[in-house]
Amino acid sequence: PDGDGINDAWGMSSNVPAVSDFEMYVFDRWGQVIYSTTDPYQPWLGSANNGGEILPPGVFPYLIRFEVDGAETRKELVGHVTLVK
């Protein structure tokens, strides 16, 4: 994130269907939660708890859980997001 408005935030796409029971977590390399939200429209800005300075470049694991409205199953997405400057 460098403030140019391009790829400065990471999270759910704004064109996803209506979701409920949303949880998103970003972890550091030791497995500690550095960001969490229950708002699908609140992206991670690259800092711990979206406040203060941007974290150093690195690879950060994530976990996203949600239900698509009208679906019977809960979705879980697991992966890594790379933070570069």
> Beta partners for 60?
81
pLDDT per residue as tens digits for the range 34-45: 999 998 888 898
Total count of residues recorded for the chain = 85
pTM, 2 dp: 0.83
In the chain the first and final C-alpha atoms are separated, in Å, by 6
Reported confidence tier of residue 51, pLDDT bands at 50, 70, 90 = confident
Is residue 8 within a helix (H) or strand (E), and if so which, with residue range? Answer: none
Q: Is residue 53 within a helix (H) or strand (E), and if so which, with residue range? A: none
Which H or E run includes 63? strand 58-68
Q: Where are the domains of the chain?
A: 21-83
